[in-house]
Amino acid sequence: MEHEEDVHEPTLIDLVEQLDSEGVCGFIRTFVDDLRGGYEAVNPERFPWLNDLRRAPWGGVLCLGMGGSAAGGDFLAALTNQQGYCPVVVQRDYTLPAWFDATWLVVATSHSGNTEETVAAAEEAIKKEATVIVIATGGLLAGLPELSERCYLIPTVGGQPPRTAFGHIFSRQLACLEHLGLTPPMDEAARNDMFDRLDAINGHFDIVAHPEGDIAMLAASLVERPMAVAGPTELAPALNRFKNQMNENAGRFVRIGIVPEMNHNESVAWGGVGPDGDPLAGEQALLLLTWPGMHPRVKQRLDWMVAHASTETAWNLTGEGESLLECLLYHCLVMDWLSTALALLHGKDPAAIAPIIALKAHLNSVQ
């Protein structure tokens, strides 16, 4: 009598080998190296025009971009809100705000250089005689400096999906603003120490090196549950990127709540009940992104939410670090590994974005 072979559930290591067609795990693994390289790549020696632009009295910085290329602008806005010398506003569209004028510096970012919304808005800014800094790997956007002497290019690194290139992009954006004197410069030793700590954390979160570690366990508990993520205002960029990474990598919806604002409206829905009397939020997992620098009253609000939320599943993911910047980057590592682990557990290639490709093809066909 023949015996059937034992059937084992594939491990995360097995799933990476089967599904990770573009090496997303490898790109996450080099995230901190990307940050180091991008920061070092932008300096006045390489781009002398930074010294010229430093002397301009900018009214603010308008960051143009979409998706992962726009995320860095959100991070810059949060950092300058806490400690900066001018406002940073992010525009995700084909057009510029009605109030825009050439006293605002434009930073137009597109990994491919061909994001049509960003290209259109950057071209409009050039027509208004604004100063535009382009961050791209090539494409139409990288060609704009040839059309205007007030347009400058900072090339970035290609060869990978845009959402895995955040380290390359954001570090260039941050270094650019620092050299322009719009954000306080970080001490070199302190910055290197921050990168070293983040590198160690990245190794700890690696789902290939630790297939039964913290990230893997959290991902396994979220496979069957709808997700909501909440946190304080200053972590809003991480909350939004968490949603975007879950959308693209894992193909999952995520609700975002920002405290204290959500306490004035969404808190009611969390306590709501359905027609059968069961809590509507009962099956929903709540992930709280926090950091040590939160306002004390915000911390009290989050503590109350955990104690009173009707969901059976809630986690507090505390960002580690000595600054808001470090805690934001810490959360980037959590969300990148977590969204990738969930993609694999769902049997999805984390690089697959078929609906986005189909939409682009449609738009190209109706031009």
Q: How far apart are CA 291 and CA 301, in angstroms?
A: 14
202, pLDDT greater than 80: yes
CB-based burial, 178-213: b 16+ in 10 Å, e otherwise: bbbbbbeebeeeebeebbebbbebbeebbbbebbeb
The terminus-to-terminus CA distance of the chain in angstroms comes to 65
The pLDDT, as a whole number, for residue 268 is: 82
Could you check whether the bond before residue 145 is cis, i.e. omega within 30 degrees of 0?
A: no
The pLDDT, as a whole number, for residue 117 is: 98
The pairing of beta strand 88-91 with beta strand 285-290:
unpaired
Q: How far apart are CA 128 and CA 144, in angstroms?
A: 14
Using only C-alpha atoms, what is the Rg of the chain?
A: 22
**What DSSP state is assigned to residue 141?**
H
Given a contact cutoff of 8 angstroms between Cβ atoms, the answer to whether 132 and 125 are in contact is yes
Q: What's the pLDDT band for 272 if we cut at 50, 70, 90?
A: low
Q: Coil, strand, or helix at residue 196?
A: helix
Q: Kindly report, residue by residue over 175-200, the tens digit of the pLDDT.
A: 999 999 999 999 999 999 999 999 99
Q: Which of 67-71, 87-91, 277-281 has the lowest mean pLDDT?
A: 277-281
The pLDDT, as a whole number, for residue 2 is: 47
Q: What is the mean pLDDT of residues 167-177?
A: 97
Copy the structure tokens of residue 129.
Answer: 């005689």
pTM: 0.94
Q: What's the pLDDT band for 282 if we cut at 50, 70, 90?
A: low
62, pLDDT greater than 80: yes
> With the CA atoms of 191, 195, 198 and 202 taken in that order, what torsion angle do they form, in degrees rounded to the nearest 10?
170
Q: Note the helical H segments in the chain.
A: 12-19, 24-29, 31-41, 49-54, 67-83, 116-127, 139-143, 166-179, 188-205, 214-222, 236-245, 266-270, 296-308, 324-345, 354-365
Q: Coil, strand, or helix at residue 186?
A: coil
Query: How large a percentage of the chain has pLDDT more than 90?
Result: 82
Q: How far apart are CA 293 and CA 54, in angstroms?
A: 30
Tokens 């491990």 belong to which residue?
11
Q: What's the pLDDT band for 71 if we cut at 50, 70, 90?
A: very high
> With the CA atoms of 245, 251, 255 and 258 taken in that order, what torsion angle do they form, in degrees rounded to the nearest 10?
0
Q: What's the pLDDT band for 9 if we cut at 50, 70, 90?
A: confident
Q: Which residue has the higher pLDDT, 280 or 94?
A: 94
Q: Which residue has the higher pLDDT, 146 or 312?
A: 146
The pLDDT, as a whole number, for residue 305 is: 85
Given a contact cutoff of 8 angstroms between Cβ atoms, the answer to whether 111 and 69 are in contact is yes
Q: What is the mean pLDDT of residues 258-264?
A: 94
Q: How far apart are CA 249 and CA 340, in angstroms?
A: 6
Length of the chain: 367
Average pLDDT, the chain: 93
30, pLDDT greater than 50: yes
Secondary structure (H, E, C), 38-49: HHHHCCCCCCCH
Given a contact cutoff of 8 angstroms between Cβ atoms, the answer to whether 263 and 295 are in contact is no
Q: How far apart are CA 153 and CA 136, in angstroms?
A: 8
Tokens 């009598």 belong to which residue?
1
Q: What is the mean pLDDT of residues 210-233?
A: 95
The pLDDT, as a whole number, for residue 5 is: 53
Q: Which residue has the higher pLDDT, 346 or 271?
A: 346
Q: Kindly report, residue by residue over 92-143, the tens digit of the pLDDT.
A: 999 999 999 999 999 999 999 999 999 999 999 999 999 999 999 999 999 9
Encoded amino acid at 48, one letter: P
Q: How far apart are CA 317 and CA 330, in angstroms?
A: 10
Domains, the chain: 25-179 (3.40.50.10490), 211-345 (3.40.50.10490)
The pLDDT, as a whole number, for residue 132 is: 98
Copy the structure tokens of residue 277.
Answer: 């009397």
Q: What is the mean pLDDT of residues 245-264?
A: 95
